[in-house]
Amino acid sequence: MSTLKRILVQKDRTCRSVWFMRQAGRYLPEFRKIRSQNQDFIKLCLNSELSSEITLQPIKKFDLDSAIIFSDILIAPYALGQEVKFIKDEGPELDDFILEKFLDINENEFSEKLNPVYKAIEITRSNLDKKKSLIGFIGAPWTLLVYMLNIKKNKTEIDFDKLNKNIINKNQILSKLIKFLSLHISNQIDAGADVVQIFDSWSGLIPENDIKDYCYIPNAKIVEFCKEKKIPNICFPRGIKEKYKEFNEMVKPEGINLDYTIDPMWAKNNLKNVVLQGGLDPKLLLESEELMLKGATKYIKTFQDIPYIFNLGHGLLPETDPDRVKKLIEFYRNY
């Protein structure tokens, strides 16, 4: 049994865990209350006590099988010297990338800046049922590069002219990102996390000729690091469609999260030697209860005879009714 399967096996189940991406977030009134009193998002992520409290909110409310630490993928660029702001209704904004400043940050400085994150993991682990797993996470190198170099025109397009201006530094930047993201993973595990998820949120925007260099190879190096350290890992190469198969064969993660564009039967037939996770469209939780449960049934039936973690194909949406989340969890567990 892989380390991921072993860590997710519950006392009365066999790899039948349920948790949701963004389960600690804006759809919960208790989170919105804390957020309204803490306008600076990065500072909130670095408030160890509040971060832990937010992490545990959905566990207390829904008794989910796993907690995922409340943080952000952009905490890594922050620790590597870039200012990160979150603009309301627009999303994250990073100041200009300065290569010399980026290269000047050392491992001790990086770890020290992120120490509040690791402290939050320690606090959470001490307050979390030992049978439940605690998930840490990182952004994959390509996705962080998109934000750090500010090369995303919109949700479907990358400014490759701007990227190519930095192409001479590409290998240098990616190499340091891989090294420091691996350190961030190791620090999270040392603090008490059991599993790490690697979010490559913008991998679907990479042209076919570049996907190996920007997606497969960086993810594979991080997964290889995890395997050497015996760290259970889940990859989420969102938006790469049928390239999920090639990704799985080249990167060889222990777990892979499906996005909601992937047909579950196709995934079952094509993604081998890996624990499958997620896939359900979070927008279904905004539809009728009948449609939501019909969608869930499709995934449950398809994956009923293989290791599968019930989750979504993206994060819970802010407008989601918490009662819907509760009904979905109960439906899955009682199926």
**Within-domain flag for 305:** no
- Total tally of structural domains belonging to the chain: 1
**125 part of the active site:** no
Structure letter (DSSP) for residue 312: B
* 19 neighbors 333 (Cβ within 8 angstroms): no
> Is 95 designated active site?
no
Coil vs helix vs strand at 158? strand
Query: Given this model, what pLDDT does residue 167 score?
Result: 64
Average model confidence (pLDDT) for the chain?
Answer: 93
Q: Note whether residue 9 is domain-resident.
A: no
Domain that holds residue 210: 19-275
Residue type, 239: G
Q: Name the helix (H) or strand (E) containing 85.
A: strand 84-87
Q: What percent of the chain has pLDDT over 90?
A: 86
In a domain, 104, yes or no: yes
For residue 79, give the nearest of 99, 58, 109, 54 by alpha carbon. Answer: 109
How many Å apart are CA 64 and CA 335, to the nearest integer?
16
Is 145 a member of any domain? yes
In a domain, 326, yes or no: no
pLDDT in the model for residue 54: 98
The residue-averaged pLDDT of 231-248 equals 98
Confidence band, pLDDT 50/70/90 cuts, at residue 135: very high
| Range from 69-83, 141-155, 233-247 carrying the lowest mean pLDDT | 141-155
**Of 16, 65, 72, 214, which is the active-site residue?**
72
Catalytic residue among 26, 213, 263, 281: 26
**H or E element that contains 103:** helix 99-104
Question: Within 13 Å of residue 286, how many CA atoms lie on the same side as its CB?
Answer: 10
User: What local confidence, expressed as pLDDT, does residue 323 receive?
Assistant: 98
Give the residue-averaged pLDDT of 83-96. 87
Exactly one of 35, 78, 260, 332 is catalytic; which is it? 35
Question: What secondary structure does DSSP assign to 234-281, as a single string?
Answer: EEE-TT-TTHHHHHHHHH--SEEEEPTTS-HHHHHHH--SSEEEE-B-
Residues, the chain? 335
Is residue 265 predicted with pLDDT exceeding 90?
yes
16, 22, 125, 238: the catalytic one is 22
Question: In this predicted structure, what is the pLDDT of residue 160?
Answer: 82
Mean pLDDT of 265-282: 98
35 flagged as catalytic: yes
Q: pLDDT band for position 141 (50/70/90)?
A: very high
Judge whether residue 8 has pLDDT over 70.
no
Measured CA to CA, the distance from residue 310 to residue 125 in angstroms comes to 22
Residue 333 falls in the annotated catalytic set: no
CB count within 10 Å of CB 321 equals 11
40-49, 85-94, 103-112: the lowest-pLDDT one: 85-94
In a domain, 294, yes or no: no
Yes or no: say if 201 and 238 are a contact pair by the CB < 8 Å rule: yes
Tell me which of 27, 118, 147, 244 is the catalytic residue: 147
Going by their DSSP bridges, the two strands 91-94 and 152-154 should be labelled as unpaired
- Kindly report the CATH number assigned to the domain that includes residue 253: 3.20.20.210
Confidence at residue 158, expressed as pLDDT on a 0 to 100 scale: 87
Helices vs strands, H then E, count in the chain: 17, 11
Question: Which residue in 221, 231, 240 sits closest to 186, CA to CA?
Answer: 231
CA atoms within 13 A on the CB side of 189: 20
Residue range 159-188, pLDDT digits in tens: 888 887 766 678 899 999 999 999 999 999
Confidence tier at 120 by pLDDT (50, 70, 90): very high
Q: What is the pTM of this model?
A: 0.95
Residue 304 in domain: no
Sequence-distant (≥ 6) Cβ neighbours of residue 175 within 8 angstroms: none
Give me the mean pLDDT over the 223-241 stretch: 98
286 in any annotated domain? no
* Catalytic residue check, 72: yes
Nearest to 67 by CA among 77, 76, 54, 79: 54
* pLDDT at 234 > cutoff 70: yes
